[in-house]
């Protein structure tokens, strides 16, 4: 009887490991797909970009990668993040401007 209990525990551990490994593979595949947005640039999701930063002094316009809009009606961009960005946005690739 006790061996049945041990076998159930071993099965549960194996199932947890298998499910965990499967989820890991799914997350890696999803990240690779998101990161391939534009050649040479990262997808906003890959760098956890948000339009409104919450850390003072770490907005996109404080970052060395920020590219101001060339003219009225255009949006600012980033050298490494794909698409238009907000000057008050933030991402994990923030790099302060040298002063």
Task: Report domain extents, the chain.
Answer: 2-78
Q: What backbone phi and psi angles, to 5 degrees, belong to 87? A: -60, -25
Burial classification of residue 37, based on how many CB atoms lie within 10 Å of its CB (0-12 exposed, 13-18 middle, 19 or more buried): middle
Q: Coil, strand, or helix at residue 77?
A: strand
Q: Is the pTM for the entire model greater than 0.75?
A: no
- Residues 24-55 have pLDDT tens digits of 555 565 555 554 456 789 999 999 999 998 98
Cβ burial, residue 23 (10 Å; 0-12/13-18/19+): exposed
Given pLDDT bands bounded at 50, 70 and 90, which one contains residue 94?
Answer: very high
List Cβ<8 Å contacts ≥24 apart for 64-69: 64/95, 64/96, 64/97, 64/98, 65/93, 65/95, 66/97
Q: What does the pLDDT average to over 2-17?
A: 64
């Amino acid at each position: 009887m006790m061996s049945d209990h041990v076998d159930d525990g071993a099965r549960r551990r194996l199932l947890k490991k298998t499910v965990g490994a499967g989820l890991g593979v799914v997350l890696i595949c999803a990240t690779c797909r998101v990161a391939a947005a534009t050649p040479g640039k990262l997808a906003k999701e890959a760098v956890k970009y948000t339009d409104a930063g919450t850390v003072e002094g770490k907005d996109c316009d404080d970052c060395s990668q920020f590219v101001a809009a060339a003219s009225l009606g255009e949006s600012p961009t980033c050298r490494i993040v794909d698409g238009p960005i907000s000057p008050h946005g933030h991402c994990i690739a923030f790099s302060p401007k040298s002063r």
